[in-house]
Structure formats: C-alpha cells, structure tokens
Amino acid sequence: MTSSNSAMATRSLSVSSAMATDSADNAQNDNSAGAEQTPLPAPQDAAAARDGSDEAQAQGVCMAAGVEGWDRRLQIGGVFIILGVSALGAMLPVACKHVAWLNVNARLLTLGKFFGAGVILATAFVHMLGGATEALKDDCVDGRMGDFDSWPGFLAMVAVLAMHLMEHVLTARYIGSDSELAHTLSRHANTLADASPGAHTPQLLGDEERKAGEPKQRAAGHMHGALFADERRRQLSTYILELGIALHSVIVGMTLAVTGGAEYKTLLAAISFHQFFEGMALGTRIAELNFKRRPLVLGLLNALVFALTTPLGQTIGIAVRQSFAPRSPTTLVTMGVLDSLSAGILMYSAIVNLLVEEFAAPEFRVSSRNARIACFAAMYAGCAGMSIIGKWA
Ligand SMILES: [Zn+2]
C-alpha cells in the first residue's frame, strides 16, 4: 500500500464518504420510522451487517471497485518497465561479482552492499511498517482487528522472533550438538591462549575474538562446521529476505495496476526507483552467496525471481481491476498483515545480518578510515533514498 496513493484515495473518497455517512444516517432514520414496510437490503458483507450505520459506507466507499482513467497501453508498458528496472537492479551486482570482464572494483561492490543495507532498513521501517499502519488504521477496517492499535509493531516483533528462533535452530543443527559446541569452544580457547598467553576463559571468547581484529587469528579458531553453518545460514536468510521483499513487491505491483489517471505516471516512476534500489540491495546479498556450481546462472535466476514479483502483482491487479476493491476490509487486513510480517523479516535481516555482522567483520574493521566512512555514507544514502521514495510507493 502506498502512502500517497491511499492518502489521495482517502482525500478523494472523504467527500463521498461523508455523503455515504449522511445517506446511512438517513437510511437508518427511515428504517427506524418504518422498519416493517421498508427493510434494508441484505448486506453483501456479513461483517458490515454488525453495524447498520456503517453499512452504506462499507458498501459505497470501502467496497468500491474499478479504476477511473485506467489506460491499458500504459499499464502493459508499465509491466515491462518495472520488469526491466527490477532485473537490472538485481542482476547488476550478481553479474559484477561473477563476470570477470566487467572488471568492477571490489570496493564499489562493497559500497553497493552497504547502500543496499540502508535500502532494506528504510524499506522495513518506512515502507512496510508505514504502509501496514495506514492499512490497518483505515476506517474501512472498522474494528475487525479489535481494540488494539499496535498490530503492525506486534506482528513485526513476531516475525523478528521467528527469524531469531529459526537462526538459532539452524545453527544448532549445522554446528552440531551442545557437547560438540563445548568442545569447539574449548578448542577456541586453546587457540587463543596459544596465540596470546594470558587468562582466557571460554566466556570471554566472544569479546576476545571480536577485539582481535586480525582475520588470521579469527580464522585459526574457526571450525569447518561453523563456516559451513555460516554459509547455510547466510543462504537461508537471503532467501527469507527475498521472500519478505517479494511480498511487498507484489503488493506494490497490485497497487500500481489499479491506479489510473495522472497519478499512475508518478507512481510508476516511484516504483521504478523502488524496484531498482531493492533489486540492488537483494542483488548484493545474492552475489555474496557461494554457490558451488554455476554461481552466475544460479545468482541470475535468484535475481530473476525477484524481478518477476512486481510484474506478477501488476498482472494480477490488471486481471482483477474491475472487481478489486483496494479499500475492502479483506484487502486492507491482508496487506497490513503481510507488510507487518515482512517488515519484521527485513528489520532482523538489516540489523542483525547486515549492520551487526558486516560492520563487525574483521575485513571491515581493518579497512582504512576513509573506506569505513564511505561505507557508513553509502548506508545512510540508501536509507535516505528509500525513505524519500516512501512518500510515493
Ligand atoms: Zn515500498
């Protein structure tokens, strides 16, 4: 759900909404005056029947379908434009990483990765949480979510906890049992004790390891199992991130497909940037995956899956535009819940897997001051860019 889009919709609908409320009141008055003679028609929406005064509003405004000024040519053109920019954004980092003759500076790819981290963070906090709040607070939801205002935050928290639990379970499975882990820890301790004699306890190991900026020392303590688990975890968290971004992209595509008139072009432009930046963010993550065979093909396929999401949403939207009611309670609740859960997935991914892990990585900490400043700047730029786009899409 886009902020300006629904804001506009709210604005244009507020007049008719007021009228609908008036007529609802009239209908109610008429009804109470002569209920026996003129019973109200049976409401289509069972939930709307609970509150008679809201019925006309629910029927008139919330269930309104069809798009004014809808242009088939522009819409179909839009599908290909969005497909193109999404594919470009997502495939560029993958190609840069695996195609030798493109000869892209590794530093540029790193900057792209941190820019992408910012994009994901802003997508979660600005786009998804903002959109979900707007959708679930909409008048048309009308008490269906109960007397609780914090659903978006609550659902995002549930998604964060689910991500956390999943990472823990997978780490346990791939690293091995607790006794094996204890063994690994004692080996870690020995390695570190050998490297720098002193009082090293396994409990302090995490800090010690982080303080030791040298990659060599860190690598010496690492077991193959841990590296394997890291890779598996990275792979899975990338796929889940892809899923979270994909859900939002489908919603955005559907919104675009049921937008007509002058607003369409503005939204198309905003969503083009939206998909390009998000594609880049995801592409840099996909490029980091170590596929054993055919890394370029598998990487590009992953990027293609993302590139198809918004066009898929657009196609669905175009197909159902006559009957699709953007402000129907079902639509709003579905979009609100999906966006909230996606927000949690992206928050966890951005903060834990990108901000914490990338910035704590030895390679990052031993790089020059200017290089680190550039990484921070790239991340802030990603946040800023995506936040600004949040005004439209
Ligand atoms: Zn968005």
Over residues 216-233, the pLDDT tens digits come to 444 444 455 566 667 777
CA distances to 37, 183, 185, 234 from 203, in Å: 80, 13, 9, 25
CA-CA distance, 192 to 212, in Å (whole number)? Answer: 10
Give this prediction's pTM: 0.72
Least confident of 29-38, 160-169, 304-313: 29-38
CA-CA distance, 82 to 273, in Å (whole number)? Answer: 9
For 131-180, write each residue's pLDDT tens digit: 999 999 988 988 788 888 899 999 999 999 999 998 888 777 766 555 56
- Rounded to 5 degrees, φ, ψ at 331 are -60, -50
> How many Å lie between the centroid of ligand 1 and the Cα of residue 336?
13
> How many Å lie between the centroid of ligand 1 and the Cα of residue 235?
24
Contact of 364 with 270, CB cutoff 8 Å: no
Nearest to 345 by CA among 114, 116, 124: 124
Strand positions, DSSP E, the chain: none
* Mean predicted confidence (pLDDT) in 103-118: 88
> How many Å lie between the centroid of ligand 1 and the Cα of residue 127?
4
Cβ-count burial of 230 within 10 angstroms (0-12 exposed, 13-18 middle, 19+ buried)? Answer: middle
> How many Å lie between the centroid of ligand 1 and the Cα of residue 76?
21
**Cα dihedral sign for 219, 223, 224, 225?**
negative
> How many Å lie between the centroid of ligand 1 and the Cα of residue 14?
24
> How many Å lie between the centroid of ligand 1 and the Cα of residue 387?
9
The distance from CA 216 to its chain's CA centroid, rounded to whole angstroms, is: 36
User: How many Cα atoms are found within 13 Å in the side-chain-facing hemisphere of 379?
Assistant: 16
- Name which residue leads in pLDDT, 349 or 183: 349
CA distances to 230, 301, 334 from 240, in Å: 15, 16, 19
State the chain's mean pLDDT as an integer. 78
> How many Å lie between the centroid of ligand 1 and the Cα of residue 328?
20
> How many Å lie between the centroid of ligand 1 and the Cα of residue 384?
13
Location of structure tokens 């927000």: 343
* Reported confidence tier of residue 292, pLDDT bands at 50, 70, 90: confident
Give the CA diameter of the chain: 95
Residue type, 314: Q
- Collect all residues with Cβ–Cβ distance below 8 Å to 22 and sequence separation of at least 6: none
Query: Hey, where are the domains in the chain?
Result: 1-57, 73-389
Ranked by mean pLDDT, the top range of 39-43, 330-334, 351-355 is 330-334
Location of structure tokens 């689910």: 162
Please tell me what DSSP assigns to residue 209.
Answer: H
CA-CA distance, 272 to 255, in Å (whole number)? Answer: 13
Location of structure tokens 């994909």: 246
> How many Å lie between the centroid of ligand 1 and the Cα of residue 119?
10
Which helix (H) or strand (E) covers residue 167, if one does? helix 151-175
pLDDT at residue 59, as a whole number: 64
Q: Which alpha helices (H) appear in 176-261, and where do they start and end?
A: 178-195, 205-211, 215-221, 224-257
**% of the chain with per-residue pLDDT over 90:** 44
Contact of 233 with 383, CB cutoff 8 Å: no
CA distances to 72, 135, 245, 250, 337 from 321, in Å: 11, 19, 23, 15, 22
For 120-141, write each residue's pLDDT tens digit: 999 999 999 999 999 999 889 8
* Reported confidence tier of residue 41, pLDDT bands at 50, 70, 90: very low
Cβ-count burial of 32 within 10 angstroms (0-12 exposed, 13-18 middle, 19+ buried)? Answer: exposed
For 242-286, write each residue's pLDDT tens digit: 999 999 999 999 999 999 888 999 999 999 999 999 999 999 999
What is 287-318 written as a DSSP string? HH---SS-HHHHHHHHHHHHHHHHHHHHHHHH
CA-CA distance, 357 to 54, in Å (whole number)? Answer: 51
CA-CA distance, 34 to 205, in Å (whole number)? Answer: 80
> How many Å lie between the centroid of ligand 1 and the Cα of residue 137?
18
* Reported confidence tier of residue 99, pLDDT bands at 50, 70, 90: confident
> How many Å lie between the centroid of ligand 1 and the Cα of residue 61?
25
Neighbours of 57 (CB within 10 A): 24
Residue 206 has pLDDT above 70, yes or no: no
**Cα dihedral sign for 388, 389, 392, 393?**
negative
- Collect all residues with Cβ–Cβ distance below 8 Å to 151 and sequence separation of at least 6: 132, 136, 145, 336, 337, 340
